[in-house]
Amino acid sequence: MERREVLRMLATGAVLQLAPHKMLVVMREARAFLANESAPRTLNAHQYATVKEMAEMILPATETPGASDVGAGEFIDLILTEWSDEGERTRFVAGLDDVDTRSKRLFGKDFVDCSTVQQAEILVALGEKMAEDTERLRNQAFANAESPDAGFYSMLRRLTLTAYYTSEAGATQELHFEIIPGDFKGCEPLPTVKETGKRP
């Protein structure tokens, strides 16, 4: 499978609809791409730190790994670099800038410097805005001019979830994904009445 096709499937979440053996191939290839990435290529250091912090707020570590543990930040930068078009990259970065603008307006500091409670307040506001935008777009035939973060938070959430659930930890510990679920015994004889006490 070509690198670009793997990334397209990951970016759109299509990988989650694949048959288990195909999903495994895509997951392995994607993780191999990530292993070769040494530093973010689209996001600067501050943007990258913001993405990692937000992704971890979306999927925090509990008894299972969180978004940071599975490399969600690296995954998002890879998708932005390799798959997203210039408009999507621009919208995503503008959305990140808007997160810091909101944070400075409310708390006088960047998102990454805020407390967990303050960060949660910002994410709740972004989630409410995302829900309003979705409802607005459902109720009208066409969209008006978009605000800087329109689509950003939805994209961040989708990429975070895709990064998580296509990782080994997400697939096995959360989804209980099994490549070969149980045993298959094709020519196993049926039990007899004496063995089970019932008629077959």
pLDDT one digit per residue (tens) for the chain, 200 residues: 444 454 445 544 554 454 444 555 555 666 666 566 667 788 999 999 999 999 999 988 888 888 898 889 998 998 888 878 899 999 999 999 999 999 999 999 999 999 999 999 999 999 998 888 777 777 764 444 444 444 899 899 988 988 887 777 766 666 666 655 556 666 777 666 665 555 55
**What's residue 109's pLDDT?**
97
- 29 vs 42: CA distance, rounded Å: 21
Which residue, chain included where needed, has tokens 């096709």? 5
Distance spanning both ends of the chain, measured CA to CA: 46
DSSP state letters, the chain: --HHHHHHHHHHTGGGGS-HHHHHHHHHHHHHHHHT--S-SSS-HHHHHHHHHHHHHHS--SSS--TGGGTHHHHHHHHHHHT--HHHHHHHHHHHHHHHHHHHHHHSS-GGGS-HHHHHHHHHHHHHHHHHHHHHHHHSSS--SPPTTTTHHHHHHHHHHHHHHTSHHIIIIIS---SS-S---TTPPPPPHHHHSS--
* Euclidean distance between CA atoms 148 and 71, whole angstroms: 26
Q: At residue 180, what is the residue type?
A: I
Task: Identify the CA nearest to 51 among candidates 113, 117, 103, 112.
Answer: 112
pLDDT given for residue 114 in this prediction: 96
27: tokens are 């997951």
Domain ranges within the chain, ordered by starting residue: 3-178
